[in-house]
Chains A and B, each alone.
Chain A
Amino acid sequence: MSDIADRVKKIVIENLGADPEKVTLEASFIEDLGADSLDTVELVMAFEEEFGVEIPDDAADTIQTVGDAVTYLTKATA
């Protein structure tokens, strides 16, 4: 769990150039971390690459926060 969270946070920091302190599990990509809609697509693509999974569009729509991504990827890679 923590390993996945660390990898997710690293990707978010790299992709969004976000302040690491702001990248908490509760942080919303768009509202808290300044992402636009294209950033969120890029994030999903980066998650897919990092974790070797395919995230369908309807699932991607539900991934709004760092915690959402960690929860989804934990299940997807279980």
Chain B
Amino acid sequence: MFDLTGMTALVTGASGGIGSAIAKALHGQGATVALSGTRAAALETVAAELGDRVHVVPANLSDREAVEGLVPAAEAAMGGLDILVNNAGITRDGLFIRMKDDDWDQVIAVNLTSAFRLSRAAVKGMMKRRYGRIIGITSIVGVTGNAGQGNYAAAKAGMIGMTKALAQEVATRNVTVNTVAPGFIETAMTEVLNDKQREATLAQVPAGRLGTGDEIAAAVVYLASREAAYTTGQTLHVNGGMAMI
């Protein structure tokens, strides 16, 4: 089950906690992976861990030209693109009433607009080849909202709507489009919480612990697999029961 031998995958934000776990998991199932991100050195470290069947394609997703060039670069490096994981994301948190336009624009550009452009570029070849998997990493926050994250919640909710629209357009071409919505996951982002914040966070999670990058990656592997052919337009929530939707 879930064998990805011979498949090619592009993962954005691949040097981060969740992104590197996703890249490793796809690679572990046999896929050739292209790692993208802004930090070339960090990407090389992940690539070195994986060994063969790996390509590094750095790109700054807030740069429009870099976004336009990324899918062609990945396709050229791997000879095609079967799986696109739009994982890259940034936060610029702040209370709504004080939120700067620039913080809004940046978060929408990197988290949502880049996912749109990469998906548009990737889906072309996928439709032609009559096979493809596009997976967006959204967030529980895109469904429930979160104080201080108006921009981030909007981008993540936008990704879910975009996914459903695209999924409807390309379903007859055997291209599926889905999202995974993590809850609280152990990453650099949650490491900065103090004990009190951590306790308050965990109080909301029935599982009583933070999730791991591997647990998000497992959901991505499923959606990326041939076996998931009949699952499209969905959001798979991986949140320890924090929200049951």
Contact = CB atoms under 8 A, between A and B. Distances in A.
Interface residues of B, number: 7
A38 interface: yes
B124 A38 contact: no
Contacts of B170: 38
A42 B172 contact: no
B124 A45 contact: yes
B53 interface: no
B105 interface: no
Nearest to B127: A42
B198 interface: no
Interface string B168-186: 0110110000000000000
Contacts of A54: none
A50 interface: no
B162 to A, nearest CB: 17
A62 B128 CA distance: 23
Nearest to B171: A38
Interface in A29-78: 36, 38, 42, 45
Contacts of B169: 38
Interface string B124-136: 1001100000000
B75 to A, nearest CB: 14
Contacts of A42: 127-128
A36 B173 CA distance: 12
A44 to B, nearest CB: 12
A36 B172 CA distance: 10
Contacts of B127: 38, 42
Contacts of B173: 38
A38 B169 CA distance: 8
Interface in B10-67: none
Nearest to A39: B172
Contacts of A36: 172
A38 B168 CA distance: 11
A42 B170 CA distance: 11
A38 B127 CA distance: 10
Interface of B: 124, 127-128, 169-170, 172-173
Interface of A: 36, 38, 42, 45
Which 5 residue pairs are nearest across A and B when measured between Cβ atoms?
A: A42-B127, A38-B169, A38-B172, A45-B124, A36-B172
9 contacts: A36-B172, A38-B127, A38-B169, A38-B170, A38-B172, A38-B173, A42-B127, A42-B128, A45-B124
Given A36-B172, A38-B127, A45-B124, 6 more contacts: A38-B169, A38-B170, A38-B172, A38-B173, A42-B127, A42-B128
